[in-house]
Amino acid sequence: MNGKGHLIKPHYLSLKPFIRWQGAGRPARWREEFGRSAPLVVEIGFGLGDFLVRQAREEPEKDFVGLEVDWVPVRRALRKISLAGVPNVRVLKVDARVGLEMLFNEQSVTAAYSLFPCPWPKKRHAKHRLLSHDFLRLLNNRLVFGGETIMVTDHRPFQDWVLSQTPGTGFSTETELTTRRFVTKYERKWQAMGQEKFHLLRMTKREHMTAPIKEDRTMITHRISRFDPERFRFPADSGNMVVGMKEMLYDAERLKGMVRTVVVEDNLLQDFWIEIVKIDEAWRIRPAKGCGIIPTAGVQRALDLVRDAAAM
Ligand SMILES: C[S@@+](CC[C@H](N)C(=O)[O-])C[C@H]1O[C@@H](n2cnc3c(N)ncnc32)[C@H](O)[C@@H]1O
């Protein structure tokens, strides 16, 4: 509201096309979401959303889902979707690896686009490159037979690297030199810097790869008989996931402790609070309400660690 009582329009205009992936099904119910059964197209790292919105407008018979890891591009794409009034597009703020793993059934996607993905040219950054062998296998699994993944880059060595990842992913590959065609921010950027030709890699699904849907876990919360916040020490952890405890708040009146916890596992980072709260005669240890966690093995590990630390 402004001072005169008028509602100020947020930058994104409407959140209706936005899906909070944490709350979506495993897989998400796309038919219900779009209210119809239509070919599903996924764009990975859609940036400002120009291509996503234009495609949705030009191909109203298809449904489009954009996966983008940063909020600012999502916000700007939301604005474009509202201004264009396209009903057949949804966007999620999620790492594409997590999104594809959890939200799409096998053989449910007809095409996928990755336009000007970050090439991470330095060797020591290669682990950040998205279109790795494992990711391509996952993409393959979610695509229908004959479905295509189109990747475009300004950077030939990056295309060569993606090509080197394709053996054993069930894709046949075709490369093409293309001129301006997708009209995205990065295409415009490279064009403004004098680049006329871009490298297009078309990967067509020929064989089916296995890659099961990643399910949520059932969380086991804890109950301990004694808890002394003065004696609480942040636990150290190791292993293939990182669980870190950042701070602890304690409200002596409400008999409630809150431990800020960060869990990193695979490609997923979760930053949330674990509460230690006195209910009847016992202290309950559980994720605090409203944090919107995904119940993963890492979150379970964090609960176990807090229980051990709190019970000491
Ligand atoms: C170089 S920009 C290209 C954006 C847009 N496709 C274009 O052509 O203008 C790469 C985009 O991919 C997004 N991105 C990077 N890694 C991602 C991931 N793992 N999952 C989803 N999006 C990702 C970045 O946030 C960024 O918006």
pLDDT tens digits, 156-197: 999 999 999 999 999 999 999 998 788 899 999 999 999 999
Do both 150 and 275 map to the same domain? no
Q: How confident is the model at residue 235 (pLDDT cuts 50, 70, 90)?
A: confident
User: What residues have CB less than 8 Å from 191, skipping those under 6 apart?
Assistant: 180
- Ligand 1 centroid to residue 176 C-alpha, Å: 22
Q: Residue 234 carries which DSSP code?
A: P
Q: For residue 14, tell me if it sits in a domain.
A: no
User: Ligand 1 within 6 A of 47 CB?
Assistant: yes
Residue 81: per-residue pLDDT:
95
Q: What percent of the chain has pLDDT over 70?
A: 95
Q: Is the pLDDT of residue 220 over 90?
A: no
- Counting ligand 1 atoms within 8 A of each CB, the residue from 130, 131, 190, 199 with the most, and so the one to mutate, is 130
User: Ligand 1 within 6 A of 95 CB?
Assistant: yes
pTM: 0.82
- Ligand 1 centroid to residue 116 C-alpha, Å: 8
φ/ψ bin of 63: left (φ > 0), alpha (ψ from -120 to 50), beta (otherwise): beta
Mean of pLDDT values over 267-284: 91
* Token representation of residue 39: 């070919």
User: Ligand 1 within 6 A of 70 CB?
Assistant: yes
Q: For residue 3, tell me if it sits in a domain.
A: no
CATH number for the domain spanning 139: value is: 3.40.50.150
Q: For residue 57, tell me if it sits in a domain.
A: yes
* Axis-axis angle for helices 96-103, 133-142 (nearest 10): 40
Q: For residue 36, tell me if it sits in a domain.
A: yes
Do both 181 and 227 map to the same domain? no
Residue 237: per-residue pLDDT:
63
Which has the closest alpha carbon to 148: 170, 180, 130? 170
Mean of all residue pLDDT scores within the chain: 91
User: Which atom of ligand 1 sits closest to the CA of residue 152?
Assistant: 8
Q: How far apart are CA 6 and CA 111, in angstroms?
A: 43
> 165 is in which domain, residue-wise?
21-205
* 147 close to 208: Cβ distance less than 8 angstroms: no
- Ligand 1 centroid to residue 305 C-alpha, Å: 35
Q: What percent of the chain has pLDDT over 90?
A: 69
Do both 238 and 275 map to the same domain? yes
User: Ligand 1 within 6 A of 99 CB?
Assistant: no
- Buried b / exposed e across 257-270, counting CB within 10 Å, b at 16+? bbbebebebeebeb
Q: Report CA-CA distances (Å) from 224 to 227, 232, 255, 285, 310.
A: 7, 13, 14, 8, 8
Q: For residue 217, tell me if it sits in a domain.
A: no
Do both 146 and 243 map to the same domain? no
